[in-house]
Structure 1
Amino acid sequence: MPVISSEKDVEALRFTIVAEFDASVERVWQIWEDPRQLERWWGPPTWPATFEKHEFEPGGKANYYMTGPEGEKARGWWKFTAIEAPNRLEFDDGFADENWAPVEDMGITHAAVTLENIDGKTRMTTVSGFESAEQLQKMLAMGMEEGMKEAMGQIDAVIAAPAPA
């Protein structure tokens, strides 16, 4: 399992998950910038993702849905706020309705992903910031921590495959 730690900090309104991969920073970066690779790991195995839009640039947007075991769809959106290839990206993240409009009562989280070389491996640190302690607790109760661990557990197989040309 590539996840080496996860930490909930209700006071700071943050959830941090750290994973390490036996691949270069550049190779791990590709799993974020290429929506077809992103689909192979974003979302836990029982809720695979499909990206309908993926504008990987500052100000760009992404729309995706995860399909559950019974065929139900959970939609989400991202707005990329910073991209510093190949070491950092940030995006706002929220739930969406069937028309891709934000689901306001679920709030917005802000994710900051950092990739760094540590002894020839890549450490990926993902920090999710929340609007309130209630939102953080709600997301954790929905299975965010377990889902992210399962999703990141799929990355090794993605990076082991040949990188697209």
Structure 2
Amino acid sequence: MTESQATNANQANTEEGKLVITRTFNAPRELVFKVWTESEHLKHWWGPIGMELEVKKLDLRPGGIFHYSMTSPEGDQMWGKFIYQEIVAPEKLVFINAFADAEGNTIRPPFSSEFPLEILNIVTFIEHDGRTTLTLQGGPQQATPEEHAFYKGMFESMQQGFGGTFDQLDEYLAKI
């Protein structure tokens, strides 16, 4: 592990059934916010390691959508979307994340019929001495007790997944 990786290690907790991940990046807040909100940047880092991201649409406004596909090296494709609820540049993004089909309709993920249809995510960006601490908080929206329980059972997997995604973000920020 490099010094950069060690200082940027994920910190995670699971307060009140929400996934909370905090990560510090060696980049100013305006840049970190920009790479979260522009398609030409998102395609380079968003999603699981090894997946190729294609942005179908990005409309950054309350009620707007980020609709994308992810393709595995084997050619398997999944679709997802954000529906933006609140944007306070460069401090905060609030969006509902969901699996989607190619037309942007919300669907169940291919891996479970018990995963919640919608996850409300709040991402905050705080700068200190040219570095940005990002905190992501996510939890099910309008979910059944079974969906909440399934989501809680996925915390370790989601922490690993976001860890890889944020590693890609860290590498991308170092390049631009």
Global fold match (TM > 0.5)? yes
Question: Which of 44-53 and 20-29 deviates more?
Answer: 44-53
Corresponding residue of 1:118? 128
Corresponding residue of 1:82? 86
What do you get for the CA RMSD once the two structures are aligned?
A: 1.8
1:7 aligns with 2:13: yes
What pairs up with 1:1-165 in 2 under 5 angstroms?
1=5, 2-9=8-15, 12-104=16-108, 105=113, 106=115, 107-130=117-140, 131=143, 132-137=147-152, 139-140=154-155, 143-162=157-176
Taking the aligned partners of 1:77 and 1:125, their CA distance within structure 2 comes to 20
The Cα shift of 1:62 comes to: 1.2
Q: 1:82 to 1:122 in 2, by over 3 A?
A: same
Q: Which sections of structure 1, spanning at least 5 residues, go unmatched?
A: none
The one-letter code sitting in structure 1 at the alignment partner of 2:69 is: Y
Taking the aligned partners of 1:40 and 1:135, their CA distance within structure 2 comes to 30
Is the Cα–Cα contact under 8 Å of residues 113 and 127 in structure 1 kept in the other structure? yes
Where 1:99 maps in the other structure, the secondary structure is coil
Identical counterparts, % of pairs: 27
The one-letter code sitting in structure 1 at the alignment partner of 2:47 is: G
The Cα shift of 1:22 comes to: 1.0
Taking the aligned partners of 1:22 and 1:84, their CA distance within structure 2 comes to 21
The Cα shift of 1:138 comes to: 5.5
Give the total of aligned pairs: 159
Is the Cα–Cα contact under 8 Å of residues 3 and 17 in structure 1 kept in the other structure? no
The Cα shift of 1:102 comes to: 0.6
TM-score, length-scaled by structure 1: 0.87
Taking the aligned partners of 1:59 and 1:116, their CA distance within structure 2 comes to 24
The one-letter code sitting in structure 2 at the alignment partner of 1:159 is: L
Taking the aligned partners of 2:131 and 2:150, their CA distance within structure 1 comes to 33
Between Structure 1 and Structure 2, which shows a larger proportion of helix residues?
Answer: 2
The Cα shift of 1:139 comes to: 4.1
Is the Cα–Cα contact under 8 Å of residues 17 and 152 in structure 2 kept in the other structure? no
Where 2:10 maps in the other structure, the secondary structure is strand
Is the Cα–Cα contact under 8 Å of residues 14 and 129 in structure 1 kept in the other structure? yes
Where 1:19 maps in the other structure, the secondary structure is strand
Taking the aligned partners of 2:149 and 2:170, their CA distance within structure 1 comes to 33
Taking the aligned partners of 2:10 and 2:165, their CA distance within structure 1 comes to 14
Is the Cα–Cα contact under 8 Å of residues 10 and 163 in structure 2 kept in the other structure? no
Where 1:32 maps in the other structure, the secondary structure is helix
